[in-house]
Amino acid sequence: MTEFGLYLAKKSVNKAEVSRKTGIGKSRLSELAMNPSARLRADELYLIALAIDSDPVEILSHLFKGLKLKE
């Protein structure tokens, strides 16, 4: 499971509901949740955040918590 998948699971997200609200297919949501090589696009992130009543920055912070600036 990907970090995105873990985030959705933690939030108890209903993928069918998100798919209906966003127009993003259930198969695409499953791919994003299960396939580490799948890339989440900015428009998808924004729509998903709106659908689950979450801040897009919160999702980004969770997904990329390991990134740090060089000193």
pLDDT at 39: 95
53 found inside a domain: yes
pLDDT at 3: 93
What does the block give as tokens for 32?
Answer: 């994003």
pLDDT at 27: 96
29 found inside a domain: yes
Q: Could you report the per-residue pLDDT of 3-57, keeping only the tens digit for each?
A: 999 999 999 999 999 999 999 999 999 999 999 999 999 999 999 999 999 999 9
What does the block give as tokens for 9?
Answer: 């699971």
pTM of the model: 0.89
pLDDT at 7: 95
Q: Are 11 and 54 in contact (CB under 8 A)?
A: yes
Angle at 15 between CA 44 and CA 61, to 5 degrees: 50
28 found inside a domain: yes
pLDDT at 46: 97
70 found inside a domain: no
Q: Return the CATH number at 53.
A: 1.10.260.40
Domain total in the chain:
1
43 found inside a domain: yes
Structural domain span for residue 10: 3-63
